[in-house]
Structure 1
Amino acid sequence: MPVRVVVRTFSELCITVGALIILFVVYFLFWTGVKAADAAEGEIDTLRSEWADEPVAPASPPASPETSPSKTPDPGPDPGAAPYRAGRPFATMHIPRFGADWEWPVLENTAVTTLQKGLGHYSGTARPGDTGNFAVAGHRRTYGDPFKDFPRLRPGDAVVVNDGRTWFTYRVAKKPYRTVPSDTAVVDPVPRGSGFEDAGRYLTLTTCEPEWGSSHRLIAWAQLDATRPVSDGRPPELSG
């Protein structure tokens, strides 16, 4: 076979492989984001329609400005509350640190298909506002990059959750913590490494580390700071 034919064939193979790589990168970085944004918007629209059709009273009285929710009587889980449905949304989350328009649905479980549509609630952990640890996972990159700015979280940052009845405002306790995926104690009712020592109303956020890998996890812990009935309007952290 002439050298010219070998060189031409090799060049054509390189061009083909290069084109496939570019198409894969476009799909991985761009198209998954488009799909995730559309899916998340659809999940939020579904929630809002359900909330509009079935208005209910707040789950529990809001804490007074002078009293921390962690020190008010805890009514405990609502025995009449229906279990969350796998892969279905039940709340929205806002993190002002990530931008005024940052809003993502929270869906039940952390399956691959669930995290392609929004944030995933670790099944078996607490509901928003309940005593225990309300634990949520999200992609750092791809599928909308919901937790792309995760390392920017700082103590005191607000994380606001809306379940259709109540706004729950959590406050980040400390900068994100790095650990390995097998460290499941970070979502315990009193999460290990958080600095919390007693039973309380906590939130754990998890995402992948490093930014384009998954060998480790970044963890952020927060504690419930305030509650507000949805009927009273958006909390001050989301105003402006």
Structure 2
Amino acid sequence: MSSTWRAAGATAVRGLAELMLTTGALLAAFAFYLLVWTNVQTHYAQADHLEEFRAEQRQHPQGRTLEPRTGDGLNVLHIPRLGVDWEWVVVEGVDLETLNDGPGHFPGTALPGKVGNYAVAGHRATHGEPFAALDQLVEGDKVHVEAADGWYTYQVTWSRIIAPTQVDVVAPVPGQPGRRPTARTMTLVTCHPRWGSTERLVVGAQLVERRSPAAGPPDGLEV
């Protein structure tokens, strides 16, 4: 083999090695962004929303209800099954930018405690992954909603895996579009599997208790 061919081969190998190193660095940076940085961003967004929510509570201890705007902090979810300190501010809206700040309330669905379906979506991976362990909820588990006008406790009644096209789970009567609601329900929606989006994991719950702001949180819940 001539020196020219050897030099060309060495150059090609070096080029391939540099390309692989560059690709590896880019993949590592992308993984860092997804697994670390998005969580940091969501953490700070949640801290801001929670501070605003608590300030509003101090200013209006009896609560007041305002028409929510996209991106507003609406209320706070507490799910003891997912941890004693599990709490997430629910923001208004379910577009991707809004969901990056935390779980999002489907516009047009009921507000907590009202007749109809209070429907919330959340990331299961990245951006704080609020619903990462949503599959751990079982029938009978409690989901507490800390709202401006009091506390609402829902009890899980069902869960299932569905196709992304089954959007009727967020209808006023879940799964029965067009039917007039008479019950006060909640639906939590996230991707399935955790690192995919081919299906949806959906958890349904029924309102079982309401407490006034003055009564404080439900028994056993620390805030």
Instruction: Give structure 1 stretches of 5+ with no counterpart.
Output: 60-80
Residue aligning to 1:76:
none
Residue aligning to 1:32:
38
User: Where in structure 2 are the equivalents of 1:1-240 lying within 5 Å?
Assistant: 2-56=8-62, 81-174=65-158, 176-192=159-175, 199-239=182-222
How high is the sequence identity, in percent, across the aligned residues?
40
Provide TM-score, normalisation by structure 1.
0.85
Give the conservation status (yes or no) of the 8 Å contact 1:96–1:237: no
Give the conservation status (yes or no) of the 8 Å contact 1:178–1:219: yes
Structure 2 letter corresponding to 1:36: T
- CA–CA distance in 1 between the matches of 2:66 and 2:27? 46
Give the conservation status (yes or no) of the 8 Å contact 2:151–2:212: yes
Runs of 4 or more, structure 1, over 4 Å off, are none
Shift of 1:111: 1.2
Classify the secondary structure of the residue corresponding to 1:192: coil
Shift of 1:192: 1.6
Provide TM-score, normalisation by structure 2.
0.91
Classify the secondary structure of the residue corresponding to 1:238: coil
Give the conservation status (yes or no) of the 8 Å contact 1:189–1:199: no
Aligned pair count reads 215
Give the conservation status (yes or no) of the 8 Å contact 1:107–1:119: yes
Shift of 1:110: 0.4
Give the conservation status (yes or no) of the 8 Å contact 2:62–2:214: no
Q: Output one character per residue of 1:4-30: Cα deviation in whole Å (capped at 9) or x when no partner.
A: 111011101101110110111011111
RMSD across aligned positions (CA): 1.9
Classify the secondary structure of the residue corresponding to 1:104: strand
Classify the secondary structure of the residue corresponding to 1:10: helix
Structure number with larger C-alpha Rg: 2
- CA–CA distance in 2 between the matches of 1:5 and 1:37? 46
Shift of 1:188: 1.1
Classify the secondary structure of the residue corresponding to 2:20: helix
Classify the secondary structure of the residue corresponding to 2:12: helix
Shift of 1:233: 2.0
Shift of 1:198: 6.4
